[in-house]
Structure 1
Amino acid sequence: MVPKRDETYEEPLHKKKQDSNPSYSSLPDEIILNVFARVSRSNYPRLALVCKNFRSLILSSDLNVTRFHLKTQEILVHVYLQFPDSDRPSLFTLWIKPGHTLTNQLGKNEKPTGNIRLVQIPSYFSYTPMQSVAVGSEWYGISQGDTPSSTIWVLSKDIYGSFWRKASNMTVAREKPLACALDGKLYVIGGCTAKRSTNWGEVFDPRTQTWEPLPDPRPEQRFSSIRKLECWIDKVLYRCNKHRCSWYNRKCKQWRVVKGFTMMNWDGNIGMIEVANYGGKLLILWDKSTYDDKPGYKDIWCAVISLKRHVRPEIDEVEGNIEWADIVHKVPNSYVFVRSVLNEV
């Protein structure tokens, strides 16, 4: 005979404690995605190491959709660096340490704080950044992955929200091409073996949904490195080089110097310059020769500058304020800065 259980019986304390602390991985995916979407993407590399399910959710498109609906999207800065011991450029992401105040390190012994770094994307992250280009009222996306692709994406909207759909394919598969908009058309150049001049570039007309080849430039231009050193912020065009940052006054039809950049201290040791629109602010990447204990290397710097335009009857100028600047990576002198790509995801 099995004795009746005493109604006053209590579970052991250690068992109660175990049952009251279930694993986070046992939660429904919808709840985990909702939590991840509210966390800075800077935490994702560590979260991806917790378990396979976390890694799968972080890599899924569902997370991007959740962030879109919760309006928690962030701007990601991707940088391609070419090293002499590699056949392909390496993809890095600008990583900002969560919970730390960013400071301006210019003129402070030029030592990196470690709060901002260019971190190489681990091999298990299969996310492929896209270059987004506005053509009229539509946005087009061009893959910036290592695998050549002819696919073009266009951002569409319906009653359920925004989503990417495929547009008419390019005539040539391209690897990390450059793209821009002009007169309501999409221009794409580079990213393929230009054995034939027709491969160099092509233009897409959204009205006819057709592609046409671009006229062939001279061979030295076709194979040269094409770089973008300008960006638009609040309908103002900015341009940076080794000497200054300027903005274009459309009313006067002249370039004017952005005030407040004396602390940048760009001199003859400055090499690469890259500028981008970072959420309405100016993001600048540049490299500079270093004279520390590692000769033959350069430091890659990154700075974010807020911009304020002063328009008065007697003056029209733009003033820049360096919000933060820091060394984000050390590279050998023989490296090549390929390009940067910004995405809001």
Structure 2
Amino acid sequence: MSSSSILVPNLPNDIAVQCIARIPRSFHPKLALVCRSWHSLITSPHFFSTRSHLKCTEQFLYISIRNRYHSFEWFVYHISENPSKLFRLPPFPSPATNFTCVMLGPLLFVLGGSVKRIPTSTVWIYDARINRWEIGPEMRASRDCATSAVLNGKIYVLGGCSVDPWAEVFDPGLGSWAPVPRRVIFRRSNWRWISRSVVLGGKLFAFVGAGGVVFDQENLSWGSLPEDFHDDFYFAWIRRAPVIDGILYCFQSGGHKIMGYDEEEDKWKLLQVIGEELPSGVNSTLVNVEGRLCLLWEEGDGESELMEIFCAVIEVGKDSSGELQGSVVWSEDILRIPRGSSLCHCLQLEL
């Protein structure tokens, strides 16, 4: 090994990596400026796998805001910091709207959408390790108002188009998209409009029109949703719905209540939250952060030119009778946005 590749003088590189990996994420941009070897290390998959092995990872929320001019701004909220910190990401390099997005490892994938009301197949990827947007492998179909999810390390995108492939999958190992066999027939008018998808019990659940489908990756087969999914809670899936300990959480349609679908019992239950009144689900979104339910919502008084984005973390679980119970751990305002803007996406990343 040449002297230029030595990370810390008089210290074996494997020990040096473990030392550097323990340094908080907020210092990494400065550490990357030390030398080329450190920059190469801090942006490498090995470095982040070492952080994970050492249990040094930190929690981040990636939040998109659509402004009054219908363009998007992305922010990252460092939820593990005390106090928590919010940073603006580099400008999103696309004018697309109505896109879908997922996290895969340290990468944020923004898929499709429409540009001047024309659907696009373009994929943009934000790499959290190097704080940079890059163009990604183009999808096979142009998609507007699609939905997406990660299942066993692969990205699935469904709907948003009226032609095949109605569903396709991205394999990061191959770096390309492939069609997903579709052995279920939907009414043609419903092919495009997919309100939400989620991975539950190792299967991909998606809503199509007033019903929905379940995709079994192992058998490459499609089936119908469980019967209790066809009730009034369908409309609560407009925003992202996280799964925590086998319970799918989402807002009840038009109300202030969070419901949980218990897969084992095939039953919806009310989450009883102790301590605080929850906001309406209309302009709110939910995400799983280290097994806790994280709630983000908009709030304004109707007179100010600014609205506030609030964040609350809720400890959730079952009580002795099997009912869902939660308690608010903390809540705070994290961002002020101009009136006319809206909270659109929130994704969690452990880095």
- 1:257 matches 2:242: no
Structure 1 residue 188: Cα displacement: 0.8
Distance 2:327 2:139 in 1: 41
Taking the aligned partners of 1:223 and 1:307, their CA distance within structure 2 comes to 28
Selected match of 2:163 from 198, 220, 234 = 198
Contact 2:7 2:38 in 1 (8 A): yes
Contact preservation (8 Å) 2:18, 2:50? yes
Task: Tell me the equivalent position of 1:12.
Answer: none
Q: Where do residues 42-121 of structure 1 align in structure 2 (5 Å cutoff)?
A: 42-45=26-29, 47=31, 57-85=41-69, 87=71, 89-96=72-79, 98=81, 100=82, 115-121=83-89
Distance 1:176 1:48 in 2: 38
The match for 2:311 among 302, 306, 325 is 302
> Aligned match of 2:347 in 338, 341, 345?
341
Partner secondary structure for residue 264 of structure 1? coil
- Percent pairwise identity: 21
Q: For 1:220 and 1:336, how far apart are their aligned partners in 2?
A: 27
For residues 210 and 336 of structure 1, do their structure 2 counterparts lie closer, same or farther at Cα, with a shift above 3 Å needed? same
Q: 1:246 aligns with which of 228, 237, 259?
A: 259
Q: Deviations over 1:51-72 (max 9, x none)?
A: 7765554333342232234343
1:131 is the counterpart of 2:115: no
Would you say the 8 A contact 1:244–1:261 is kept in 2? no
SS at match of 1:259: strand
Task: Determine the structure 2 residue equivalent to 1:135.
Answer: none
- Scaled by the length of structure 2, the TM-score of the pair is 0.58
Q: 1-side partners of 2:195 and 2:243: how far apart?
A: 24
Letter in 2 for 1:131: M
- Give me the whole-angstrom Cα distance separating, in 2, the residues matched to 1:176 and 1:38: 40
Shift of 1:26: 6.5
Map Cα deviations across residues 230-266 of structure 1 (whole Å, 9 max, x no partner).
2211112222254111222456644222122451352
For the pair 1:274 / 2:243, whether they are aligned, the reply is: no
Contact 2:147 2:157 in 1 (8 A): yes
**Residues in 1 aligned to 2:30 and 2:90: alpha-carbon distance in whole angstroms:** 11
Q: Deviations over 1:259-299 (max 9, x none)?
A: 224513526xx7521111111111111111147xx812111
> What is the rounded CA distance, in whole Å, between the counterparts of 1:36 and 1:174 in structure 2?
42
| Structure 1 gap segments, 5+ residues each | 1-23, 101-114, 124-128, 133-138, 152-167
The separation in 1 between residues aligned to 2:191 and 2:339, in whole angstroms, is: 24
Q: Determine the C-alpha separation between the residues in 2 that align with 1:31 and 1:216.
A: 59
Letter in 2 for 1:144: V
Q: Within the alignment, does 1:321 sit opposite 2:327 as a pair?
A: yes
Q: Which residue does the alignment assign to 1:231? A: 242
Maintained 8 Å contact 2:68/2:341: yes
Partner of 1:36: 20
Shift of 1:78: 1.1
Contact 2:148 2:157 in 1 (8 A): yes
Task: State the secondary structure of the residue aligned to 2:298.
Answer: strand
Larger Rg computed on CA atoms? 1
Give the direction of change, closer, same or farther, for the CA distance of 1:320–1:97 in structure 2 (3 Å limit).
closer
Which residue in the other structure is 1:20 paired with?
A: none
Secondary structure in 2 matching 1:230: coil
d(CA) in 2 for partners of 1:334 and 1:319?
A: 34
Gap change, CA 1:49 and 1:326, over 3 Å in 2: farther
Deviation at residue 181 of structure 1 after TM alignment: 7.3
Scaled by the length of structure 1, the TM-score of the pair is 0.59
Question: Compared with structure 1, are the counterparts of its residues 58 and 176 closer, same or farther at alpha carbon in structure 2 (3 Å cutoff)?
Answer: farther
Number of equivalences: 264
Unaligned segments of structure 2, at least 5 residues? 1-5, 92-100, 113-120, 126-136, 172-177, 197-236
What SS does structure 1 have at the residue aligned with 2:242? strand
Deviation at 1:170, TM superposition (A): 4.8
Question: In structure 1, what is the equivalent of residue 141 of structure 2?
Answer: 172
1:341, 1:304 → 2: CA distance?
Answer: 14
Higher-RCO chain (CA-CA 8 Å, sequence separation at least 6)? 1
